[in-house]
Amino acid sequence: MNDRRLPSPEEVGGALAEHLRQLGPSGQWQHGRTVKVLSTEDLSPGLGQATVLRVSADLGDGGPASWIAKLPAGGNQSLLELSDPALTERETRFFGSPLRGILPDGLATAPDAGALRHGGSEWIFMRDVGEAMDRRWTVADAHLVAARLARLHAPVTADPGVLATPWLERNGYAGYAHHVPAGHENLELLGQDERLAGLFSPEQVRRLHGCLAALGRLTAVADGLTPTLLHGDLHLRNLGLTADRTLVLIDWEHVGVGPVGVDLATFVSLYRLFGGEGEPDERALLAEYGTALSEIAGRDLRRDAELGFAVCHLTWGLHLRLGPGLTAVRQGVFDGSADALSAHLEDVRSGALRALFWATELGIGEAGTGELRTGKEDS
C-alpha cells in the first residue's frame, strides 16, 4: 500500500527557490525571482525509500524549466530494503561533500544537483536529464561504461583519505546478506510453487545452497582486495549518456567503499533486466576494465578486479534474487502480469547461473565446503 504524502506545489516551489539561491551565479539565478510550480509528476519507483518528482516550474525567466526533486526519506519500505540506517541520509551528505568533485572527465552528476534542508525535510534537486536517461543502451555503450569506471576507481585506490569518509557505505556488495536465510528457504520451497517449479535443477539447487553458505569466505576474499570509491548501485536506470558521451550518474544513496570490480558487476548483473540491448561479453568487459584500471593506477589490478566482480555476483546478485526476488514471486507480486513475471524469473535464473559460473571459477564446491581459489596466493 502506498502511504506516502506527496509535497504540495507550494512546498516544492519553496524548496526549489531555496536550492536556486544556494546555487548562486553558477545556476544563473537572480535574487527577487519567484518560483511557480506548474506541475509535478510522481516518478517514485515504489520499491525505494525516496519520493521522486519531475517538476515543471516557471522560474521567472521566460519559460518553464524541468527539475527532479527527491525526498530521500519520503517513500515506502519494501522487500528490497537493506539493513542500512544511513541509507536515507547518505546522498544528501554526498552532495554536500567534496566527493562529488573527484569525478573524472567523462563522468558527472546531474547538472545543478545539490541538497538542502527545507520545511523540516531533506531535499535533493537536480536538472532533469531525462533525455540522457531515456535511451537505447547497446553493447558498445557497455564497453564505454567499463572504461569510464576504471577512470573513477583507479585514482581513489591511492587516496586513503577519501576512503576513510565515515558515512560511506561499507561492504555494500553484501548489503542483502540478511536475506540469506530467506534464500535457503525459498530454494527448499521451489517445488511447492508451480511458478517456480523447474526454475533450477536439483544439482543447481544444491550448489546454490553452497554459494549462499559461502558468505563468510567470500567476505574474507573481498577484505583482501584493493578498495575504491563505488557508486554502489550502478545500473541503467541510474545512468544517462549525453550527446558528448558523458556518463551522468544519479542516485548516490549507496555511494561507498568496496573492492574494485563491484560497480561493473552490478552493471552487468542488471543490464538485460533494465532494457540493455544485446548480450555483453562480461569477460571482455572485465578485461577492458581491469587493463584500464591497472594502466591508470600504475600497478596490476586485473586479478583484484576479477575477484571483486565475482564476489559481487555471488553475494549482492545472488542474495537479491534468491531472497526478495523469489519471495516476491511466492507472494504474488507479479500475478497480474505474465510478461513481468517471465522477465523477473529470467533475471533470477540468469543471475543465479552467472553466480554458479563464478562459483566454479573460485572453487566453491559442495555446500559449505571447499577452499576458494583466488589466485592471490602466489602474487
pLDDT tens profile 122-169: 999 999 999 999 999 999 999 999 999 999 999 887 687 889 999 999
Amino acid at 368: G
| pLDDT > 70 in the chain, percent | 89
- 225 with 294, same domain: the answer is yes
Q: Domain holding 244: CATH number?
A: 3.90.1200.10
- 97 with 120, same domain: the answer is yes
In a domain, 374, yes or no: no
- 46 with 85, same domain: the answer is yes
pLDDT for the residue 161:
85
* Residue 377 or 149, more confident: 149
- 108 with 15, same domain: the answer is yes
Amino acid at 136: R
Under the banding of pLDDT at 50, 70 and 90, the label for residue 1 is very low
pLDDT for the residue 369:
46
Of the residues 98, 127, 156, the one at which a domain ends: 127
Look at residue 98 and tell me whether its pLDDT is greater than 60: yes
Of the residues 127, 158, 174, the one at which a domain ends: 127
- 322 with 345, same domain: the answer is yes
* Residue 366 or 345, more confident: 345
In a domain, 355, yes or no: yes
Mean pLDDT of 225-251: 95
* Residue 362 or 143, more confident: 143
- 210 with 327, same domain: the answer is yes
Give, for 227, the enclosing helix (H) or strand (E): strand 227-230
Mean pLDDT of 208-216: 96
Looking at every residue in the chain, the average pLDDT score rounds to 89
pLDDT for the residue 264:
98
* Residue 164 or 26, more confident: 164
In a domain, 377, yes or no: no
Non-local CB neighbours of 203 within 8 Å, separated by 6+ positions: none
- 36 with 181, same domain: the answer is no
In terms of residue numbers, what domain contains 305? 132-362
- 204 with 327, same domain: the answer is yes
pLDDT for the residue 229:
95
**Cell numbers found for residue 42:** 510522481
In a domain, 269, yes or no: yes
Q: Domain holding 86: CATH number?
A: 3.30.200
In a domain, 368, yes or no: no
Under the banding of pLDDT at 50, 70 and 90, the label for residue 368 is very low
**Cell numbers found for residue 168:** 560511506
| pLDDT > 90 in the chain, percent | 75
- 277 with 139, same domain: the answer is yes
d(CA 265, CA 275): 16
Under the banding of pLDDT at 50, 70 and 90, the label for residue 257 is very high
- 113 with 160, same domain: the answer is no
Under the banding of pLDDT at 50, 70 and 90, the label for residue 197 is very high
Q: How many CB atoms lie within 10 A of CB 274?
A: 15
Of 265, 347, 274, the closest CA to residue 306 belongs to 265
How many domains would you assign to the chain?
Answer: 2
d(CA 110, CA 117): 19
pLDDT for the residue 23:
85
Look at residue 222 and tell me whether its pLDDT is greater than 80: yes
- 211 with 305, same domain: the answer is yes
In a domain, 379, yes or no: no
pLDDT for the residue 243:
93
pLDDT for the residue 85:
73
* Residue 366 or 38, more confident: 38
Look at residue 80 and tell me whether its pLDDT is greater than 70: no
pLDDT for the residue 376:
67
Q: What is the pTM of this model?
A: 0.92
